[in-house]
């Protein structure tokens, strides 16, 4: 990853209010994510990390400001958001796997329906992905038979099946039993190391330090500090960052 | 007591075809009402879920009017009122009454369907949208199949309500079970025996249905 890599996501003065503009959750964020970059977002609860991430693929509609993806302003009117979302995977804290579909169908449904990939081809690809995360023998099972860690690996693979340009993770290990956290983090790390552009909101400071190219510290709706893991964790300049790190480390 | 049983047996022997015709009337009217009421109710629920202000507003008014006025008044409206307003629509009395019952059912069923859809975890929609699935596919392939589990039992209960509701049509002598009672009552001047026969048929019908619902609910729990 170098500074010359192409900008994949650009955010300009992004603001998001809730409750009829009474709650200002994002107060003007300008940021760039480059191709291949691994960016961790840390910060106190309620600082707007999830909201920021969800604005990137427009699961939340920004109150004002612009989001560009591959140079296209996706916040513009009359944009086919679905088409762009196909290239932005997302993994949720609570997995959100589809309980009424088998593991295999969870993975193939979107590629078959939205990218018109032939079923056989989609299933072959899905099996390959399942092998990579050690779930190939679960293909015909329903998600209720999976552990939390397995569900989350399924959710990651489901996102990968669309061949996205970036994957957004929102606290992917927060709902997991401690013994399952490592498996999921390993999958994410492998993905990040393979060059996948990754944005991850996390409370796993050790992980953020290890995998990130850059760390964003969010506080009260703004990015209060941004830098390499070294800069943020070893030499934080903003007193808010110092205070936050002193509580979580 | 013995006399009553004798009367019942006698009346059944003589008028069983009237009651069976009535049963058939009740069954087909409630079936048609539930099926078309479900189609209309689904459309109404989907309109409401579009979150387009003007649409949800119209739907709310529609549902409030129907749930806030007696079904009998609605039947009068369609039977007597609508032909005055729209003379080009030439329907028989029975057809108007069925239309009224369908409209009435659609409001209740719309609420059942809306509640069933909204009970599906929002994360499911978000996951589908994050994969780039269209709104239509998200509804059709992700939300609706999960909502059906909430909707189906409630819909069957609505069916039982409808079976009882069809008795309102007897006011206009549309041949169903309550009309059968009135026919036999006025032919024989007996009240209790034909009342018993009609009542038992309703009971058996609805008891059978509610047993069916229980089986359905158990199946759904098991397949969970
Ligand atoms: N849909 C919503 N409606 C109203 N308020 C919301 C909504 N979503 C988020 N908020 C509020 O916005 C603020 C920021 O929420 P957000 O989930 O982005 O924080 P976060 O940094 O991800 O916190 P956490 O670490 O607890 O996940 C919170 O005060 C939250 O209550
Ligand atoms: Mg959050």
Q: Which residues of A touch B134 (CB under 8 A)?
A: 82, 113-114
A106: left (phi over 0), alpha (psi -120 to 50) or beta: alpha
Taking an 8 Å cut-off on Cβ atoms, the answer to whether B123 and A92 are in contact is: yes
Q: How far is the CA of A43 from the centre of ligand 1 (A)?
A: 12
Q: How far is the CA of A48 from the centre of ligand 1 (A)?
A: 6
Calculate the alpha carbon distances from A17 to A48, A64, A223, B29, B176 in Å: 11, 9, 16, 52, 58
Among A1-10, A51-60, B188-197, the minimum mean pLDDT is found in: A1-10
pLDDT band of A2, cuts 50, 70, 90: low
pLDDT band of B1, cuts 50, 70, 90: confident
Q: How far is the CA of A201 from the centre of ligand 1 (A)?
A: 13
Closest alpha carbon within chain A to B134 = A82
Q: Is A214 helix (H, G, I), strand (E, B) or coil?
A: strand
Q: Is B224 part of the contact surface with chain A (CB cutoff 8 Å)? A: yes
Per-residue pLDDT, A3: 65
Taking an 8 Å cut-off on Cβ atoms, the answer to whether B130 and A89 are in contact is: yes
* Average pLDDT along chain A: 96
**Candidates 1.10.606.20, 3.30.70.260, 3.30.360.10, 1.10.3720.10; correct CATH number of B2-223?**
1.10.3720.10
Q: Is B119 part of the contact surface with chain A (CB cutoff 8 Å)? A: no
Q: E strands along chain A, which residues?
A: 7-18, 23-34, 38-42, 64-69, 72-73, 88-91, 166-170, 197-201, 214-219, 222-227
Q: Percent of chain B having pLDDT more than 70?
A: 99
Residue nearest atom 8 of ligand 1, based on CA coordinates:
A51
Give the whole-angstrom CA distance, residue B97 versus residue B76: 8
Beta bridge partners of A40: A200, A215
CA distance A234 to chain B (A): 35
Per-residue pLDDT, A212: 97
Taking an 8 Å cut-off on Cβ atoms, the answer to whether A96 and B132 are in contact is: no
Taking an 8 Å cut-off on Cβ atoms, the answer to whether B130 and A57 are in contact is: yes
Q: Is A28 helix (H, G, I), strand (E, B) or coil?
A: strand
Residue nearest atom 29 of ligand 1, based on CA coordinates:
A46
Residue nearest atom 7 of ligand 1, based on CA coordinates:
A18
Q: How far is the CA of A50 from the centre of ligand 1 (A)?
A: 7
Q: Percent of chain B having pLDDT more than 90?
A: 70
Per-residue pLDDT, B93: 86
Is residue A97 within 8 Å of A70, Cβ to Cβ? no
What are the tens digits of pLDDT across the range A177-234?
999 999 999 999 999 999 999 999 999 999 999 999 999 999 999 999 999 999 999 9
Per-residue pLDDT, B49: 87
Q: What is the mean pLDDT of residues A9-28?
A: 96
Taking an 8 Å cut-off on Cβ atoms, the answer to whether B127 and A86 are in contact is: no
Instruction: Give yes or no for residue A4 having a pLDDT over 80.
Output: no
Calculate the alpha carbon distances from A102 to A143, A151, B210 in Å: 7, 12, 32
More confident residue, A31 or B173: A31
Residue among A14, A19, A23 whose CB has most ligand 1 atoms within 8 A, to mutate: A23
Q: What is the mean pLDDT of residues B25-37?
A: 92
More confident residue, A226 or B168: A226
Q: What is the mean pLDDT of residues A23-39?
A: 97
Per-residue pLDDT, A1: 52
Please tell me the number of the ligand nearest to residue A42's CA: 1
Q: How far is the CA of A28 from the centre of ligand 2 (A)?
A: 18
Give the whole-angstrom CA distance, residue A196 versus residue A190: 9
CA distance B130 to chain A (A): 6
Tell which atom from ligand 1 comes closest to the C-alpha of A203. Answer: 25
- Give, as one character, the DSSP assignment of residue A147: -
Sheet (strand A23-34) strand order: A23-34, A7-18, A64-69, A72-73
Calculate the alpha carbon distances from A81 to A2, A165, B147, B153 in Å: 29, 15, 25, 36
Q: A 36-65 residues with CB below 8 A of B?
A: 57, 59
pLDDT band of A125, cuts 50, 70, 90: very high
Taking an 8 Å cut-off on Cβ atoms, the answer to whether B133 and A110 are in contact is: yes
For residue A178 the two structure tokens come to 């401690």
What are the tens digits of pLDDT across the range A126-173?
999 999 999 999 999 999 999 999 999 999 999 999 999 999 999 999
Closest alpha carbon within chain B to A107 = B131
Q: What is the mean pLDDT of residues A83-94?
A: 97
Cβ pairs bridging A and B (under 8 Å): 66
Instruction: Give yes or no for residue B50 having a pLDDT over 90.
Output: no
| Torsion angles phi and psi, residue A148, rounded to 5 | -55, -45
Residue among A50, A63, A205, A244 whose CB has most ligand 1 atoms within 8 A, to mutate: A50
Of the candidates B124, B129, B130, the beta carbon closest to that of A98 is on: B124
Give the whole-angstrom CA distance, residue A37 versus residue B121: 32
Give the whole-angstrom CA distance, residue B172 versus residue B194: 19
Instruction: Give yes or no for residue B215 having a pLDDT over 70.
Output: yes
What are the tens digits of pLDDT across the range B194-214?
999 999 999 999 999 899 888
Best of B123, B128, B132 to mutate (most A CBs within 10 Å, chain A): B132
Per-residue pLDDT, B138: 97
DSSP string, A56-70: HTTSS--SEEEEEET
Q: How far is the CA of B32 from the centre of ligand 2 (A)?
A: 49
Q: How many Cα atoms occupy the beta-carbon half-sphere of A119 within 13 Å? A: 2
Sheet (strand A88-91) strand order: A88-91, A166-170, A197-201, A38-42, A214-219, A222-227
Instruction: Give yes or no for residue B224 having a pLDDT over 90.
Output: no
Q: What is the mean pLDDT of residues B167-177?
A: 85
- Give, as one character, the DSSP assignment of residue B143: I
Domain ranges of chain B: 2-223
Q: Is A85 part of the contact surface with chain B (CB cutoff 8 Å)? A: yes
What are the tens digits of pLDDT across the range B54-108?
999 999 999 999 999 999 999 999 999 998 898 888 888 889 999 999 999 999 9
């Amino acid at each position: 990853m170098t500074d010359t890599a192409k900008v994949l996501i650009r955010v300009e003065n992004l603001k998001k209010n809730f409750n009829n503009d009474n709650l200002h959750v994002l107060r003007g964020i300008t940021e760039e994510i480059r191709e291949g970059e691994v960016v961790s977002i840390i910060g106190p609860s309620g600082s707007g990390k999830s909201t920021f991430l969800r604005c990137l693929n427009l699961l939340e509609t920004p109150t004002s400001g612009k989001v560009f993806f591959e140079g296209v302003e996706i916040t513009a009117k009359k944009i086919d958001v679905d088409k762009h979302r196909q290239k932005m995977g997302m993994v949720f804290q609570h997995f959100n796997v589809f309980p009424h579909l088998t593991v295999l169908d969870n993975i193939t449904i979107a590629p078959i329906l939205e990218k018109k990939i032939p079923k056989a081809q989609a299933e072959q690809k899905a099996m390959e992905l399942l092998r990579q995360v050690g779930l190939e023998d679960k293909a015909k099972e329903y998600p209720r038979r999976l552990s939390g860690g397995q569900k989350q690996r399924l959710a990651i693979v489901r996102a990968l099946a669309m061949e996205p340009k970036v994957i957004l993770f929102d606290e992917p290990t927060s709902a997991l039993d401690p013994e399952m956290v490592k498996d999921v983090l390993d999958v994410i790390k492998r993905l990040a190391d393979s060059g996948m552009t990754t944005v991850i909101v996390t409370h796993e400071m050790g992980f953020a330090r290890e995998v990130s190219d850059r760390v964003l510290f969010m506080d009260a709706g703004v990015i209060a500090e941004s830098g390499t893991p070294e800069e943020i964790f070893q030499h934080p300049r903003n007193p808010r960052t110092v205070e936050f790190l002193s509580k979580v480390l | 007591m013995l006399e009553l049983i004798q009367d019942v047996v006698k009346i059944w022997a003589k008028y069983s075809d009237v009651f069976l015709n009535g049963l058939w009337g009740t069954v087909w009217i409630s079936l048609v009402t539930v099926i078309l009421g479900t189609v209309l109710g689904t459309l109404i629920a989907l309109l409401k879920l579009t979150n387009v202000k003007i649409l949800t507003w119209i739907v709310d008014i529609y549902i409030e009017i129907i749930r806030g006025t007696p079904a009998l008044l609605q039947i009068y409206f369609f039977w007597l009122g609508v032909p005055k307003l729209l003379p080009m629509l030439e329907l028989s009395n029975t057809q108007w009454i069925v239309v009224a019952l369908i409209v009435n059912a659609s409001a209740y069923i719309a609420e059942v369907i809306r509640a069933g859809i909204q009970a599906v975890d929002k994360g499911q929609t978000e996951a589908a949208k994050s994969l780039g699935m269209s709104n239509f596919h998200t509804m059709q392939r992700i939300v609706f199949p999960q909502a059906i589990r909430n909707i189906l039992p409630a819909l069957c209960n609505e069916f039982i309500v409808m079976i009882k509701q069809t008795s309102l049509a007897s006011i206009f002598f549309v041949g169903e079970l309550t009309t059968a009672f009135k026919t036999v009552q006025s032919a024989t001047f007996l009240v209790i025996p034909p009342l018993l026969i009609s009542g038992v048929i309703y009971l058996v019908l609805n008891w059978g249905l509610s047993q069916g619902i229980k089986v359905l609910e158990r199946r759904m729990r098991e397949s969970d």
